[in-house]
Amino acid sequence: MTNYFDRVFHLLDKWRHLPNYQLERRADVYFAIFLRDFLQFRTGSDLQEILIPEFPIKRDLIWPDHPTHKSVKVDYVLFSDNRANVYFVELKTDRLSRRKEQDRYLDRCTVIGFERILRELLSITGRTKYRQKYYHLLHAIADAGYLKIPDGLEAALFPDVKRNAGGLIDQIDIL
């Protein structure tokens, strides 16, 4: 019997050459399986198991002249075991998918620092209609050791968002 992963990777490799096929969107979960080990090898750092895809960064951190609560996304974020480093990873499967604008905002993130990125992420969380999804994101970041979520926030968001959720979001501590 043929290995299913071999078949999947064969199809992905074959289809990536087609004009409208977006390999990155379909293959990211397969690359994610190997990403932590690869990044540990490349950096020499021990990394936490936590891997967060589509990490939002508030747009006006990158472009301060255009205030908004919208975000740009980084393909993945990973954290070193000792919390000394946060790694933003962009997956590129084709040279043509590389954008200078994206390089600029990733460079800008290194200047801004992760604490400020988190502070602005909390401001997005307080304003979004997707607070439950952001709660899961914040919980992953808390598991990595960068946030302390107040007691009661989960109950204020699930199964439905309650009025006190905003006040509890304001009580999240950045560590």
pLDDT one digit per residue (tens) for the chain, 175 residues? 469 888 988 999 999 999 989 888 888 888 899 999 999 999 999 999 999 999 999 999 998 998 899 999 999 999 999 999 999 999 887 777 778 888 888 899 999 999 999 999 999 999 999 999 999 999 999 999 999 999 999 999 999 989 899 999 999 999 9
Contact 141, 52 (CB under 8 A): yes
Q: pTM of this prediction? A: 0.90
Between CA 122 and CA 3 the distance in angstroms is 43
For residue 52, what pLDDT is reported? 98
The whole-angstrom distance between residue 139's C-alpha and the CA centroid of its chain comes to 13
Show the tokens assigned to 126.
């307080």
Q: Count of residues for the chain?
A: 175
For residue 89, what pLDDT is reported? 93
For residue 2, what pLDDT is reported? 65
Closest CA to 115 of 61, 43, 167: 61
Type of residue at 148: K
For residue 38, what pLDDT is reported? 96
Contact 165, 156 (CB under 8 A): yes
Q: Any idea where the domains of the chain sit in the sequence?
A: 22-174
